[in-house]
Structure 1
Amino acid sequence: MLQRRREVVPFNQVQGVTSTNICAYSNGDDHFFSVERHYYHGIFLGFKWECIEFARRWLLMRKSCIFSNIPYAADIWTQLKSLERVTDGKQIPLIPHINGSFEKPKCGSLLIYPRSSALPSGHVAIICDVIPGFIRIAEQNYEYYNWSDNYSRQIPLIFKNNCYYIEDEHEVYGWMQISNSENLEPLDETKVDLILKQYQQTNSIGTLERCTLPNKNTPLSFAWLNKNDNAENLFMQLYGSDLVRTDTNTLPYYKADQDLLLNVGGISNEMHEMFLNATEYVLENDDLLKHFCIPEIFWPKIRQSWLNEQSLAITGRFDFGFNGKEIKVFEYNADSAAALFEMAVIQEKWAQTINFERTFMSGFQLHNILMKNWKKFSTIKRVHILIDDDQEELLTAYYMQNVLKDVNIDSKICILTNDLYWDNNSKIIDNEGFQVELVWKLWMWETVFSDYIQCEKDGNLTKEIKGEHPYLHQILLSNQIKVIEPLWKVIPSNKAILPVLWLLYPNHPNLLRSEYMLTDNIKQGAFVKKPIVGRAGHNVTLYDVNGDAVIDETTGKFIDRNCIYQELFSLTNYDGYYPIIGSWIIHGLFAGFGIREDKKLITDGDSPVTACCIVWK
C-alpha cells in the first residue's frame, strides 16, 4: 500500500500539543531563523520556534521556572546547573545523568543532544513520558510534521549492564533531572503579578552606525565579481568594478546590532499580516477600493486572485525609517524585487573582499529562502521571466534566473514580448516551443491594465494570430498562466492602502498617520505628499508644518496620479547621508534587509545600496 506523503507544517502553526496542554509550533525548515523573539508575561523565552524556546516555555508553564539565556542547546549540558522559579527566585538544582546512567529517566527531564553535522547547535527536548522500552518526548525545530499523539517522538530506552541508554538516531549527552520536580507548581495565570521584575525584559530598539574604511590600503578594482555570471557582469557594466562608489572616496557600510535586526524582523512580519488584513478589508469594500483608481473591470479578477493565488506570492519589500528610537513603515513595495540582487549577493561579496568585523550580513538568508520557495514550483517545465527593456530589471532578472538554476528550474528571460508567440491552439509559446505556464514578472500591474484598456480601444482584445506576439495583458491576465507576483498584490503595493492601515490600526507604533485628503491632523506637523502609484521615489513632495513651504521634492512620470498625505518622519543624518531600511518579506516571512542611503531627504532609484552587517553582541 502506498503511504501518504507527510506534509510539512508551515512556520508559526501548531504541530502538536502535549498532554499538559503546551503547544509546539513549527519552524518550517532546518535552516530558517525567524529573528522573532517570543515573550510571555514579559519573560523572554527564545526565538520562534527554536527548541530552546519550547523547553523554556514548557518549564515556565509547568514548573514556574526558567533557565538563563543559553544561545545553543548543546551548551545546556555544560553551562546549566539550575533553574530559577520566577515568583521567588529560588534556585532549583538540575541533576545531570549521562546516557548510560544507573538512574532511569524521569518525566519532565531535559534531554540534551550535542552538536553534530545534523544538529549544528545541538538539541533539547522534554521527556514527557517513560513507558516500558521507550521514552516519549516533546520538542520543537526537529521535524516539521503534525504529531500523531500528544508527543513528538518515541525513542527506544534500553536497559543493559544495569544502565539505561536512550538509543536515538543522533548521539545523546544525557538527561537533566529537575530536583524535587513533583513539588513545583504550574504557573498560576491569575497571579502573574507575582513574577519578579528581574525576569521581565524590556525590548531594546537596537542601534545603527555608519562606518567607513579608508580606501588607500584597499585595491580598488580587481576580480571580486565573476565576469562569467550574467548578473555580476551586468552589475560591473552598470556600476563599475571598483569597491569604492563614485560619490565617495571611502568604503562606507552600516553596522547594526542584533536588537535592530530582531526588531526589523518582528515588525516586518507584523506589518505584512496587517497589510494582508487591510487588503482583505479593501476588497470587501467598494468605496475604499475606488481610492485605488483601478478600473472596475479588473475588480472581480483581483478578488479571485486574492482567494485563489495566495501561494503565488513570493517577494515584497518594506521601506522603513529609523531614527534611533522608532521604526516606522513608509510603504510596502509588495510587487517589487528591485535591489534584491544587491542585498542578497553584492553586499555579501563586497564584505568578503573588504573583510571587516561582522557576525553576518543583513541579507544573509535571502538567497537560501528564495531557493526554498522556488522549489515548490519544481514541476514546472520552464519559468518565463517577463521584463521591460530596462537594464535594472535585466539585472534583477539575471539574478532570479540564477536562483532558479540553483534549484534546477529552467527559465527564459523575455524582454517585452519579443520572444513570445501565439500557436495553432491559442496557446502562448516562446521561440523554443515551450508553452508559457508560469511567469515571474517585473512589470507593474498598472502597465498591464493600461495595455488592456488601449487594446480595448483599438479593438485588439481578442486578437490571437498564429506567429504574432501576444499583448502584455493577454499573458499576465490569462486564466491559463500563473503569475508571480499575483494580481492581488496590486492592492498592498498601492499607497492608497496606507490610510486604510491607519483606519484599522490607529496610533500603531510603527505606522505613520496617512490620509486621502490634506486634513488638519496631517497639517499639524510636517508631511509628505506621494502618488498612490509610483516607483523609485518619483513625484514625492515634503512639506513643512501647515504646508507653507516645500522641504524637498522629486519629479517623475507619476504626476497625474491621485495622492495620499502621510505624516513626515525625520530620519537620522549619518555623516551627511539618510538611510532607508529595505526589509524583505519572502513568502510571508522576514528574510533579511538592506540599506539605501542618500544625501537627499527623498530616497530614489539612484540612491546607492550600501552594505550593512550585523554584529551580534
Structure 2
Amino acid sequence: MRRERCAPRQDWRARVESLGFDFHSLDGAYWVDDACYRFRGEEIDRIEAAATELHQLCLEAVAQVVERGDYAELGLDARAAELVECSWRAREPALYGRFDLAYDGYGQPKLLEYNADTPTSLFEASVVQWYWFEDTAAGADQFNLIHERLIERWPQVLPAGAHVHFAGCLAAPEDRATVEYLRETCAQAGFQTQALDISEIGWREQRYVDLDDRPIAQLFKLYPWEWLLAEPFAEHLPMAPTRWIEPAWKQVLSNKSLLPLLWRMFPGHPNLLPASHDPAAIDGPLVAKPRHGREGEGVSLHQSPPLLAAPDTVYQAYAPLYQSAGGHAVLGAWVVGDTAAGLGVREDDGAITRDGSRFVPHCFD
C-alpha cells in the first residue's frame, strides 16, 4: 500500500461534473486527481476478508441484543427498541454500509467505526473513482463492484413492482448526490422511484404520504434513525405500514456503542480494537467518540485515559492511520447486502477524518 503522485487528467473537473459530481471542490479540494493509493492484490484480499468478517460479527451482535434486550448500553429507549425488534424479527433486509478501517498494508485492518445507517461518499467510491480508473489505466484493477452489487441487491430488498420513495436533506450536495445515485441504481434494477426532501413527508389517514398524498410504502431515507425518532411525526412510526431502508435494526449498528459490544463479544479479535464506555479500561493512547457523532464531530485523541467518563461517549484504543505526504488515510470498505463490494480512501491533514476530508482514488496490481 502506498500513496503515489500522478498526472491529473487535463479536463478532470469537466469530466467529473459530467457524471453529476458537482461538489468536487467543496470547501477547497475534496476530490484528489493528482494522486492515488496503490495496493497489492493480497492487500485487497485482506481488506475484503476483514469487511466480510466484520459484517458477520455485527449481525451476531444484533441477534444478541435482541435476544437479551440489551438496549440501554446502546442508548436506545423503549420506542427505539420496539422498532429494532420488530424489524429484526421480520427479517427486513439491509441495503448497504461502510466500515471505516485503519490499515497500513501490514497486519490486519482494524475497525474504527461502522457507518451502517446513512453512509455517504458512496457515489465517489462507486462511480467517480471508477471513471478515473478507466481514464488513467493506473493499475490492473480497482476493488469496486459497488454499482453492480447495488443493482443485484434491490430486488432482494423490495417486493416486485414496488414504488420507492427516496428522501434526505436534498439541499446538502453530498446527501443529494447519494440519494440520487441510489435512486438511479434502484431504477436500473427495474423499480419506479421518486425523490423528495425529508421535510416533505406528511401523515394522512394512518400512513406517511408524499406531497401528492401518495402513500409511502417503501422509503429509502438518508436520514439517521436517531434524528427520525426526534421528529414530531415519529409518534406514528410503530403504526405506519412504511418499509424503511435502512431497517430499524440498523440502530444497533449505527452508533459507536457497538464498538464496546463487539469487543466484549469477541475479545482479541484481529479486526477489532479494545473499546469501552470506561476510559480506564483502555491501556495507552485512546480515542474518545460521541455515541452518535458523525464525520469526526466531537472525536478527540488522548495519550492517557481521562479521569472521568463522559456521558454517551465511547473510548477506543488508538490505531495509527497510514501516513504519507498526503496526510492520514482511512479506508472505507463497502458492504452491499452481505457481501464486501468495494473500497474508498479518505485522507486528512490531521488524524481525525472529517466532513471535508479528501477523497483519493485507488487501484491495485
Specify the alignment match of 1:592 in structure 2. 342
Specify the alignment match of 1:20 in structure 2. none
Structure 1 residue matching 2:229: 3-state secondary structure: helix
Distance 1:422 1:276, change over 3 A: closer
Q: Does 1:517 align with 2:310?
A: no
**1:430-482, CA deviations, whole angstroms, 9 ceiling, x for partnerless residues?**
2345321000011111012212xxx4xxxxxxxxxxxxxxx3563x5544110
Specify the alignment match of 1:293 in structure 2. 75
**1:429 Cα deviation (Å)?**
3.0
Q: Does 1:239 align with 2:21?
A: no
Q: Which structure would you say has the larger Rg? A: 1
Tell me, in whole angstroms, the C-alpha distance in 2 between the residues paired with 1:361 and 1:320: 18
Specify the alignment match of 1:373 in structure 2. 153
Letter of the structure 1 residue corresponding to residue 357 of structure 2: S
Higher mean alpha-carbon deviation, 605-614 vs 428-437, is at 428-437
Structure with higher RCO (Cα < 8 A, 6+ apart): 2
Specify the alignment match of 1:224 in structure 2. 15
TM-score normalised over the length of structure 1? 0.55
Tell me, in whole angstroms, the C-alpha distance in 2 between the residues paired with 1:506 and 1:322: 19
The correspondence for 1:391, drawn from 173, 180, 185, is 173
1:315–1:587 Cα contact (<8 Å) kept = yes
Distance 1:545 1:324, change over 3 A: farther
What is the correspondence of 1:326-405 to structure 2 with a 5 Å cutoff? 326=107, 327-353=109-135, 355-363=136-144, 365-376=145-156, 377=158, 379-388=160-169, 389-405=171-187
Distance 1:500 1:429, change over 3 A: closer
Distance 1:604 1:222, change over 3 A: closer
**1:533 Cα deviation (Å)?**
1.1
**1:222 Cα deviation (Å)?**
5.8
Tell me, in whole angstroms, the C-alpha distance in 2 between the residues paired with 1:512 and 1:595: 20
Structure 1 residue matching 2:250: 3-state secondary structure: helix
Tell me, in whole angstroms, the C-alpha distance in 2 between the residues paired with 1:380 and 1:438: 11
**1:351 Cα deviation (Å)?**
2.3
Tell me, in whole angstroms, the C-alpha distance in 2 between the residues paired with 1:224 and 1:290: 49
Q: Does 1:255 align with 2:255?
A: no
Tell me, in whole angstroms, the C-alpha distance in 2 between the residues paired with 1:386 and 1:477: 19
Specify the alignment match of 2:230 in structure 1. 450
- Show structure 2 runs of 5+ residues with no match: none
2:143–2:341 Cα contact (<8 Å) kept = no
Tell me, in whole angstroms, the C-alpha distance in 2 between the residues paired with 1:310 and 1:317: 19
Specify the alignment match of 1:417 in structure 2. 199
Q: Does 1:267 align with 2:50?
A: yes
Specify the alignment match of 2:67 in structure 1. 284
Distance 1:257 1:478, change over 3 A: farther
Letter of the structure 2 residue corresponding to residue 293 of structure 1: G
How many equivalent residue pairs? 359
2:110–2:270 Cα contact (<8 Å) kept = yes
Tell me, in whole angstroms, the C-alpha distance in 2 between the residues paired with 1:479 and 1:426: 7
Tell me, in whole angstroms, the C-alpha distance in 1 between the residues paired with 2:33 and 2:86: 51
1:516–1:565 Cα contact (<8 Å) kept = yes
The correspondence for 1:539, drawn from 298, 305, 309, is 298
Tell me, in whole angstroms, the C-alpha distance in 2 between the residues paired with 1:498 and 1:328: 11
Specify the alignment match of 1:605 in structure 2. 355
Specify the alignment match of 1:164 in structure 2. none
What is the correspondence of 1:127-206 to structure 2 with a 5 Å cutoff? none
Tell me, in whole angstroms, the C-alpha distance in 2 between the residues paired with 1:409 and 1:421: 23
- Show structure 1 runs of 5+ residues with no match: 1-207, 456-470, 549-559
Specify the alignment match of 1:568 in structure 2. 318
Structure 2 residue matching 1:361: 3-state secondary structure: coil
Tell me, in whole angstroms, the C-alpha distance in 1 between the residues paired with 2:262 and 2:194: 38
CA RMSD of aligned residues (A): 2.4
Specify the alignment match of 2:247 in structure 1. 486
Tell me, in whole angstroms, the C-alpha distance in 2 between the residues paired with 1:495 and 1:537: 12
Letter of the structure 2 residue corresponding to residue 302 of structure 1: V
TM-score normalised over the length of structure 2? 0.91
Structure 1 residue matching 2:334: 3-state secondary structure: strand
Distance 1:478 1:280, change over 3 A: same
Q: Does 1:577 align with 2:359?
A: no
2:279–2:305 Cα contact (<8 Å) kept = no
Letter of the structure 2 residue corresponding to residue 213 of structure 1: C
